[in-house]
Structure 1
């Protein structure tokens, strides 16, 4: 956890801390859906990356369910007694050295970004403490993944972060979003920036719409995290 919180996510190995902290054999971090696209951000090994690849290609599996429901999907014996039905994915992993899969969502406010997949080569469960630890790590990784994606964007020329008016507008809009979603200020700012990215608009324009109450994040679509106009 400390190694994650010390950096901004760029160039960091986001998957390895899960293996270091939990009784699992491998881990992967992936983005899913339209906001950041679908792909593996970080994986500890080829097997972890393979689990991601199968789910991307088939459009089903624990990572999709975890992201869409914003809740963990725990499969301690996925090959012999799966708790959910994934016809294509279950068939695909029969030839893989996988006994258990645990998927945790990457969520920042209303934004469903992707998921973390943890696997074990033999059937086994996660304790309540391990599940809580996984959720805490996933919360940190979700923020880092979003920050990394936003940092790679070119900032519009019309937006000057040193402009006092812009800073004041963004600060006020951040306050409204954190009140709407009951999330920390840093997460509220990320939500605003991510919405600007998703809609190809300047951050200042989005902030102004929030202040004018043309955008409201308090009730949003569960799959995209989009606000109501």
Structure 2
């Protein structure tokens, strides 16, 4: 089973459209009815990237419009939000959303953040039309798939903005960025590709050149660290 899931992760990473690829397999992989993948908030704006069905898309739309719900909480905290019976137990936390869902076939919602380094920019929402629980193994696997989707969504966004290969255009700047990448790799224990993506994403979110972020990392003015499984910025 672990080998099968590893193969599924590899296939997801190689997919031309990872958000849609996730939605294509979610109902067969987890005990849910459907799912949606969206960007959320100021970094990349609020947009549904893929959805299994109209209900999943509607659930995203309601959370966008109301400014509350599990996906917002997942983005804010950087950790999954699991609500197996939103009608019974979600009213105090998300009263407006629960009221709006009165006529929708949604009973359970599980939201997982899209995160690269300290940058939180979206969520995966899974829903069920009957109250269900998501066990620890399933939650761990959704989180692993969310990591893959997160990287690919941010890479695509940076490519579309022309920022994916920003390095100042000369050997000196490339060396500095390479050095900074190695430092981030050591600080948070990720691959070189992910360390560079952390630098790129942070530069984009701060509206600063990638070269400037690299220099701050090398000088020690900017560090990344792990806290309770999350990557934080120390400035």
TM-score range, shorter chain: 0.7 to 0.9
Structure 1 portions without partners, runs of 5+ = none
**By how many angstroms is 1:45 displaced?**
1.2
Once the two structures are superposed, the pairs formed by residues 201-216 of structure 1 within 5 Å of their partners are 201-216=208-223
Worse overlay, 96-105 or 197-206: 197-206
TM-score by length of 1: 0.86
| Alpha-carbon contact 2:108-2:129 (below 8 Å) kept | yes
**By how many angstroms is 1:215 displaced?**
2.4
Name 1:139's counterpart in structure 2.
147
Identify the structure with the greater helix proportion: 2
Distance across 2 between alignment mates of 1:157 and 1:71: 30
| Alpha-carbon contact 1:8-1:147 (below 8 Å) kept | no
Once the two structures are superposed, the pairs formed by residues 131-210 of structure 1 within 5 Å of their partners are 131-155=139-163, 159-160=168-169, 163-210=170-217
TM-score by length of 2: 0.84
Structure 2 portions without partners, runs of 5+ = 1-8
| Alpha-carbon contact 1:99-1:123 (below 8 Å) kept | yes
**By how many angstroms is 1:226 displaced?**
7.8
Root-mean-square deviation (CA), in Å? 2.6
Q: Write the deviation string for residues 46-98 of structure 1: whole angstroms up to 9, x where unpaired.
A: 11111011111111101111121222111111123338621101101111011
Q: Does 1:71 align with 2:79?
A: yes
Distance across 1 between alignment mates of 2:98 and 2:144: 28
Pairs aligned (count): 224
| Alpha-carbon contact 2:19-2:37 (below 8 Å) kept | no
